[in-house]
Structures are given as structure tokens and as C-alpha cells.
Amino acid sequence: MNKDYNFSVFVNSTDTYSDCWEPFFKLFKKFWKDYEGKIYLNTEEKDYHYEGLNIIPTKVAKFKDKNKLTWSECLLYAFSQIDTDIILYLQEDYFLKANVNHEKMLELVDLMLKYDLTYINIADSGNRGPFSPSTLHEDLWEVSQQDKYRISTQASLWNIKKMSNYVRKHESPWHFEYYGNIRSRRKKDAFYAVNRDKYNKHHQPIFPYDATGIVMRKWVREIVEDLFRDNDIIVDFEKRGFYDRTKDKKRFSKKPFFKKVIATVKSLI
């Protein structure tokens, strides 16, 4: 317990998703038994602990009124509390379903530090390519600047100082991915993904989860129902309900048109 690592796990969440924390950390503890380092849980005000895990709630509302905090401000305030340069970025609905490849995770972190990398996507979701083999290591692919999801909030290793350079305080997570991707094309940072021929959801996944357990604030039945039942996790699914792809539509933004234009200009700066 409390083992020193050269990276931390960062679970980006919010108090309104606290019903995800118990299933998330129960599965985390079961499927990543070797991890004994710090886990930063991003919260506004709530505290949370799980036996056997070193969870540090960030409680970012101590920096600013929680009703005025943006998603990006919560992220940056949380980063100011983390004492490692490298994080494994996760979200509270990335529910593990099989064992994490602990040794490979440590190897990838070492590559991050050795080559001063910005980002390595460890799942086969998020980045969509095109990819090219990396000269740094056979387990890495370089992500093209033409990738529309070059910056992704799926499970990834990040250098938090470099990640912060792509964040704008007014942005939502969807804006961060969209406009951050555009900003990334103007910088020299190289982005990487794991070699998906070797590591994918069907073969040797490094961090096995399905993206994602909640959509539009509702549970995704095919991801969580059997997983929770098989692992003795009891959740009142009726409180959130189940996501229906035919009825629920995912929206990029609810801002009026003129606000979208202003946000776009600010995001590209």
C-alpha cells in the first residue's frame, strides 16, 4: 500500500456521478491487484474511500464556487494537487472487466519519461488514425495530425503539464477533444497509441474496459448490466435509466449560435 510509482491514476469525475464510484473502484481493486499507488478522484466537495485503495479526493470546490466551475477548471485544479508528471487518465464509467496488464503499463510509463512524450492512448477507442509505426518502440504507433480524435479522453497516459497546454478554462470535455485536437496541429508534440495489432479489446488489452458505461447520463445496458451482476455489484438502474440509441440523441453543445461562434474563436487561441 502507498507504493511509490512514477505515475498516478487520475479518475475524472464529478459529485453528480458518485453513484459510479462504488462499482468503479470495486472492479478496479479486483482487476488491478498489483497497483498500490495513488488514485486521484476528481470531486467538487464529496469525500470517498475504498478499503485497500489509496484514493485522494481532489474537492476542487475549495478553489472556486462549485456552481461556477467549468469542466476544464475542475481538471486544472485537480492537476495542481498531483505530485507526478505522468497520469493514467480515466473517467468514472470506464469499468474494468478483466485484469490490467500491470507490467506493460509500467513499461509504457517508462517510455513516456524516457522520451518526454505527451500522450499514449492505451485502449483501442479514442484515436481513430491514421497511424504509423513508431521508431521509438514496437509497441507504439504514432497518431497522425489528421486524426479527428488526436486528443481523446479515453483511457490514456498523459504528461499533465503538456495536457494542460491544450486545456482552455471555459471548455467542456467535448470542446476539449474537438478544439484541443485543432490546437494540437499547431504544436510539435507527438501523440502515440499502443500498437493495436498487438493490444486491442479482442487480444491482450492493457486496460480492458468498454467505452463507455454511461451515455447522456444514462447507463449503457450492454456494458454494465451483466458486468455488475457477475461481480455482485448492486445498482438501482432506474435512477438513471438506460440509454436508448433510438430515442436519446447526443448533442455537442446546447449553446445558442452566437455563443458557439464566440466559444470557437476563444478555443482556437
Average pLDDT, the chain: 91
Distance CA 62, CA 64 (A): 6
pLDDT at 170 over 70: yes
With cut-offs at 50, 70 and 90, classify the pLDDT of residue 2: low
With cut-offs at 50, 70 and 90, classify the pLDDT of residue 119: very high
Predicted local confidence at residue 185, as pLDDT: 86
Other residues' Cβ atoms within 10 Å of the Cβ of residue 178: 18
Domain 8-267 has CATH 3.90.550: yes
Q: Which amino acid is at 241?
A: G
pLDDT at 19 over 60: yes
Closest CA to 27 of 196, 238, 241, 235: 235
pLDDT at 245 over 90: no
Distance CA 164, CA 257 (A): 27
pTM recorded for the entire structure: 0.91
With cut-offs at 50, 70 and 90, classify the pLDDT of residue 247: confident
Predicted local confidence at residue 223, as pLDDT: 97
* Residue 49 CB partners (closer than 8 Å, separation 6+): 55
- pLDDT, tens only, 71-108: 999 999 999 999 999 999 999 999 999 999 999 999 99
Dig out the grid coordinates for 127 from the structure.
484515436
With cut-offs at 50, 70 and 90, classify the pLDDT of residue 252: very low
Q: Where are the domains of the chain?
A: 8-267
| Averaged pLDDT, 243-254 | 69
- pLDDT, tens only, 185-224: 888 888 999 999 999 999 999 999 998 999 999 999 999 9
Distance CA 75, CA 12 (A): 8
